[in-house]
Amino acid sequence: MKSKILFGVSLLFGLMFINAGLNKFFNYMPMPKDLPESMVKVMGAFMTIGWLMPLVAVAEIVGGALFMIPRYRALGALIIFPVNIGILLTNIFDAPSGLPIAAILMLINLWAMFEDREKLLPLVR
């Protein structure tokens, strides 16, 4: 039962990251009008670094796709982990209203890493 729940959560998690990555390339979701001023400054700074957003987008798309496939979930979790840390820190310091969602995404990523720990442990040995 736990594996079915993990698969369902992983599917939704992967689709969310694929959607976020594709949005960075195609801009089909509008930016919220009520963003805090600090968040607008941060996003402006990110945009001035021309290669940063495409790199994050590719990491989100590839990591999200791998996260949905049980055999490659550990690799997808590793690819998405730094992006997830950035999302969490951005919400802690610049947009606290999104913190609950960011925390849930981080917990899902950590849960998947914990479940696939036998694949990940050789990396730290």
**Residue 9 lies inside a defined structural domain of this protein:** yes
**Residue 99 lies inside a defined structural domain of this protein:** yes
Residue 41 structure tokens: 């400054």
- H or E element that contains 68: helix 52-68
Note down pLDDT in tens along the chain; length 125 residues. 888 999 999 999 999 999 999 999 999 999 888 888 888 888 888 889 999 999 999 999 999 999 999 999 999 999 999 999 999 999 999 888 889 999 999 999 999 999 999 999 999 88
pTM of the model: 0.92
* Phi, psi angles (nearest 5°) of residue 69: -95, 115
Task: Determine the structural domain holding residue 90 and report its residue range.
Answer: 2-26+51-119
**Residue 102 lies inside a defined structural domain of this protein:** yes
**Residue 12 lies inside a defined structural domain of this protein:** yes
CB burial of 17-56 (b: ≥16 within 10 Å; e: otherwise) equals bbebbbebeeeeeeeeeeeeeebeebeeeeeeeeeeeeeb
**Residue 113 lies inside a defined structural domain of this protein:** yes
Domain count, the chain: 1
